[in-house]
Amino acid sequence: MNCYVSLQFLLGLSQLCPCHTDMTNSKMHEMNRPPRSHWRAKRSWVWRSFFVQEELTVTEQHVGQLRSNLDEGDESLVYLLSGEGAGSIFTINNKTGDITAIKKLDREEKAYYKLRAQVINVYTGKPVEPESEFVIKVLDINDNKPQFLDEPYETSIPEMSPEGTSVIQVTATDDDDPSHGNNARIIYTIQQGRPYFSVEPRTGILRISSQMDREAKDQYLVVVQATDMLGLPGSLSGTTTVTINLSDVNDNRPIFQLGLYHMNVSESAPVGTSIGIIMAEDSDIGENAKMNYSIEDGSYIFDIITNNETQEGIVVLKKKLDYELQRQYSIRAKVTNSFLDKNFPKDENSGQTTVIKIRVEDADEPPVFSHLEYPMEIAEESPYGSYVGTVFARDPDVTNSPIRYSIVDCSLFNIDDNGTITITEPLDREIAVWHNITVIATEKNNSQQVSEAHVYVQVLNVNDHAPEFFQYYETYVCEKANAGEI
């Protein structure tokens, strides 16, 4: 074993040594002397702490010397080495006790080695000192750069966060010896990301140094450098990139695309008809961009419905329109955020308004009767052509088309183009007291435009019948009946 020096081999060498006889005689003379314990030297190992520097490329590196205080330099003692790395990493000069490292060492791989030392008397082959354990420490050099083991770093912070807000903490580690000088003492600096971010040199905590607007830029890549030896000459460094995403806050109010909208609607449009769409834009996202539309002047004719999916405002009709009464409307619409942010002033969260001008388009409408129902009356037995009553319908359009009247499925009455109703034959109240007729009004210029009204004619009674008995009466009376007897 190359970590030991064989005792037998050493004894053999002593026999070949030219001065062996003298040494033997001397030792025997000494051994024959009477014991004098009062002058015996105190036996103990004498050495200092052992250190070896890592990463040296020289073939051999002197580590230190093992020595016993019994060693008088007469080569009667030999030193033996055992333990971790003995013979393979560390060798010893058996005569002088000098220890040498014969391999390049890496402190980060192994920081110290435990070995045992023993000193043997060449002549007796017995130890003159108790075996002792000692440690060879590997001295650190700055051969490792700081590394960020938790990367990649990514985080999110609200936009417009105030200066000094903590963003994230990055941590670098250095495999060098933290107890040896400044090799593992790290400071942090910003390589990319100013002026919006700064880093605390000792802790690696990233902080905001300038407010940021997500609508201008929503992501930042910050490069942080970790440097050992506190940045002194000979230091090593490593970098990492921190991805910082800005989350949205409701710092923008919705704004209409147009300051004035023009819309058209036919007067014939039914209630609930969609007239047009208005649209506002909000630079925020998510819930912060949700909007509500309303009519600011409280119009009772129009309304605005918010489409929550498209964020559009749909203008709808709440009441029937009449072109002949009003041909244009102007309403003011308002848009506000659905969710307001208490961190921002009211004026930033207040709504914006726009004007909507709605033009009513004329439609070819059917005739309009002056009444939907007309009650009339006529005496029974009135002669043919007698007057019953008059209905009236007009064309509501600007064209004012002439009207033609007609009666549906009733031959007892007649109507002329003036709406005058007459009878075609005498009526008998005893046959029918009421006659319900339907009058149709049709535009002469457009026969498709028609409307109808209901006429209720009551037949009035006249005294045109003599009394009649319901049956023939036949009776008898006795010849001697008294006066007044029934």
Please name the fold of domain 153-247.
Immunoglobulin-like (2.60.40)
- Look at strands 373-379 and 450-460 and give their pairing: parallel
Task: Report the amino acid identity of residue 78.
Answer: V
Cα distance between residue 94 and residue 77, in whole Å = 8
- Report which of 410, 405, 415 is spatially closest to residue 441, judged by C-alpha positions: 405
pLDDT at 397 (0 to 100): 82
Cα distance between residue 413 and residue 422, in whole Å = 6
Please name the fold of domain 255-361.
Immunoglobulin-like (2.60.40)
Tokens of 253: 């109010």
Strands (DSSP E) found in 74-194: 77-83, 90-92, 98-101, 112-121, 132-139, 153-158, 166-169, 187-192
Tokens of 221: 């890549």
Q: Cα-atom radius of gyration of the chain, to the nearest Å?
A: 60
pTM to 2 decimals? 0.59
Cα distance between residue 162 and residue 343, in whole Å = 12
The domain limits of the chain are 7-29+40-139, 153-247, 255-361, 368-460
- Report which of 47, 82, 55, 257 is spatially closest to residue 176, judged by C-alpha positions: 55
pLDDT at 298 (0 to 100): 66
Please give the span between the terminal C-alpha atoms of the chain, in angstroms, as a whole number. Answer: 171
- Per-residue model confidence as pLDDT tens digits over 355-365: 999 999 988 88
CATH superfamily of 368-460: Cadherins (2.60.40.60)
- Per-residue model confidence as pLDDT tens digits over 230-246: 989 989 999 999 999 99
Tens of pLDDT along the chain (486 residues) come to 333 333 333 333 333 333 333 333 333 333 333 333 333 344 577 676 798 888 887 788 999 998 888 888 888 999 999 999 999 999 999 999 999 999 999 888 898 999 999 999 999 999 988 888 999 998 888 888 999 999 999 999 999 999 999 999 999 999 888 887 888 999 999 999 999 999 999 999 999 999 999 999 999 999 999 999 998 998 999 999 999 999 999 888 899 989 999 999 999 899 999 999 999 999 888 888 899 999 987 678 999 999 999 999 999 999 999 888 899 999 999 999 888 777 665 555 567 899 999 999 988 889 999 999 999 999 999 999 999 999 999 988 878 889 999 999 999 999 999 999 999 999 999 899 999 999 999 999 888 999 999 999 999 998 877 888 888 888 888 888 888 888
Cα distance between residue 269 and residue 320, in whole Å = 7
pLDDT at 23 (0 to 100): 35
Give the alpha-carbon dihedral of 317, 319, 325, 331, to 10 degrees.
-50
pLDDT at 75 (0 to 100): 86
Cα distance between residue 211 and residue 195, in whole Å = 10
Do the first three CATH levels of 255-361 and 368-460 match, i.e. the same topology? yes
Please, what sign has the CA dihedral across residues 360, 364, 366, 367? positive
Cβ 274 vs Cβ 316: under 8 Å = yes
Cα distance between residue 254 and residue 232, in whole Å = 54
Assess if CATH 2.60.40.60 describes domain 7-29+40-139: yes
pLDDT at 226 (0 to 100): 96
pLDDT at 43 (0 to 100): 52
